[in-house]
Structure 1
Amino acid sequence: MAHVNVHRDDIQLDEPVLIEGLPGLGLVGKIAADHLVETYGMDRYASIHCEGLPEVAIYDEGGHGVEPPVRIHADAERDLLVLQSDVPISPSAAEEFAACVTNWIDEQGALPLYISGTQRSDGQTTDVVGLSIAGAGAQLDGVDVSTPGERGVVSGPTGALIYHAERAGLEALGFVVEASPKFPDPAAAKAVLDRVVEPIADVEVETETLVEQAQEISEAKERLAQRMQQAGDESSQAQPVGMYQ
């Protein structure tokens, strides 16, 4: 049965902002989420368990412990939550995963920020488009994002999360950022952190290292990016749809 298991009842949050970091096109959300967790030294707050998620254990350098592949980290001082995943989520699991996570976010009184990459149309641009979900448009006031220039669709597990938020009446924001379709894109993640996360969550995020260490970050994420390309329809991404499609 799908559920979110909270491990840290001692962490108190008050209407937090939640950053979604599922792997998708350009690994934009993944890179942004990992950067926040590492920069702030965020505590592992909860684990997500639902049908279809890979039953694997994640281990890391510098310690003997293991952790589940999909987790939520918390920073009480900044009233911040980050949904972090080290594995792609398959289409078969997306619906149940999104329903479970949406119910939990609603119970926390959190404002979720959903992040999806879209194939950039020109050079190295990192335009960010903002989407209002369930009437949350006022939250975009003063934020450096564009309105969509064409009709489009957000697919994959991030698209499922946006769909369930709209259906449940959960105020949320979606962000579509131009990114590389083939490689991990730290520059696109930096754009999201600078233009979206900082003003909406009212935090300061050091992001210059994402540019300085772009090659290192890309190499570290390359294996996951290759898995995402092989998975194809497992990847969250935004793309235009024709009028008659």
Structure 2
Amino acid sequence: MPKEKKVYSDDGVCFDVIFEKDKEVPDVDILVAGFPGAGLIGGIAAEQLINSLEMDQIASIDCDKFPPTAVVFNGIPRRPVRFFSGNGMMLVKSDMVIPPELSPKLAETIIQFALDNDIEEIIIFDGIPSRGDEESDEEKKIWGVLSSHAAETEAENLDLDIISRGAITGISSSLLLESHENQLKTVGMMIEGKSKMPDPRAAAKLLENFADYKELDIETDSLLESAEKLEEQYAKMVNQANKAQKDIDHRSAHPPLYG
């Protein structure tokens, strides 16, 4: 028996929301969204939330315009963009970078799915490129972008510093714009992250704020351990690259003599 699906189509772009067998959309009012951005922070935070709360996959999104991609878990392929549920919330995440030309239409699909299922609030996890400042993790602010002033209470409870002026890009910007146009209360939680490597440490800080807001017990120690390992590996790579460059510079400064 084929899986049930709902089709969202506009301007020749078709998105199918394909429901898992024997899974129903829960009666909840909050949707969390996590997509790859700077430091892969949104995706890392979403994955950790799924694992900590033991959320179940309930649906996935397919589109004939997506690049041919499958993510594999325990030998089984899955679509990269999927919905999960558990602990009184739903979550949508992607394990691939969304092509920029598809972000607006995918955002429309997600927001329409949320409206169809009586979602009242969306929280977006995302990273923004670091400015290069040497801030400690404790000093890093979590920035907020709101779909409207109606979300100010949620932003305050999440302890966000509102971005007064600036620009954001990618699927998060599309979700916020679509939420604004549909009067859906949406908060973007954004933290500066490393641009050249995954940043689980920043993802952990996002999750800690979210856990306090929703009074959840979310495990983040494993993210901090991953961060330490990544930082050690990155430091080794940098040291090796610097040593190789010094060797090249030394040979250039002392060319061989030919008699």
TM superposition score category, shorter chain reference: 0.7 to 0.9
Please give the per-residue CA displacement for 1:133-188, whole angstroms capped at 9, x wherever unaligned: 1322222233222122x511110111111111111111111122111122111111
What is the letter of the counterpart of residue 20 of structure 2? H
What is the CA distance between 1:56 and its match in structure 2? 2.2
What is the letter of the counterpart of residue 190 of structure 1? A
1:134-213 → structure 2 map (5 Å cutoff): 134=148, 135-148=150-163, 150-195=164-209, 197-213=210-226
RMSD: 2.3
Distance 1:100 1:217, change over 3 A: farther
Distance 1:47 1:218, change over 3 A: farther
Alignment partner for residue 116 of structure 1, among 114, 117, 126?
126
Structure 2 residues without counterparts, runs of 5 or longer: 1-13, 233-259
Distance 1:217 1:113, change over 3 A: farther
2:5 corresponds in structure 1 to none
Assess if the C-alpha contact under 8 Å between 1:31 and 1:186 holds in 2: yes
**Separation in 1, partners of 2:42, 2:168:** 14
RCO higher in 1 or 2 (8 Å CA, sep ≥ 6)? 1
1:83-102 → structure 2 map (5 Å cutoff): 83-102=92-111
**Separation in 2, partners of 1:85, 1:169:** 24
Alignment partner for residue 78 of structure 2, among 62, 67, 87?
67
1:129 corresponds in structure 2 to 143
**Separation in 1, partners of 2:168, 2:226:** 29
Give the match's secondary structure for 2:174: helix
Assess if the C-alpha contact under 8 Å between 2:37 and 2:128 holds in 1: no
What is the CA distance between 1:85 and its match in structure 2? 1.2
Structure 1 residues without counterparts, runs of 5 or longer: 220-245
What is the CA distance between 1:127 and its match in structure 2? 1.1
Alignment partner for residue 46 of structure 2, among 26, 33, 37?
33
Distance 1:147 1:115, change over 3 A: same
Please give the per-residue CA displacement for 1:50-103, whole angstroms capped at 9, x wherever unaligned: 35322322212xx3422111111111xx11222121111111111111111110
Structure possessing the higher radius of gyration over alpha carbons: 2
TM value normalised by structure 2: 0.75
Distance 1:200 1:14, change over 3 A: farther
Runs of 4+ displaced beyond 4 Å: 8-12, 215-219
What is the CA distance between 1:212 and its match in structure 2? 1.8
What is the letter of the counterpart of residue 159 of structure 2? D
My pick for the range that moved more, 7-16 or 199-208, is 7-16
What is the CA distance between 1:119 and its match in structure 2? 2.5
2:249 corresponds in structure 1 to none
Q: Percent identity?
A: 26
What is the CA distance between 1:200 and its match in structure 2? 3.5
**Separation in 2, partners of 1:92, 1:32:** 25
**Separation in 2, partners of 1:35, 1:201:** 15
What is the CA distance between 1:43 and its match in structure 2? 0.9
**Separation in 2, partners of 1:216, 1:46:** 33
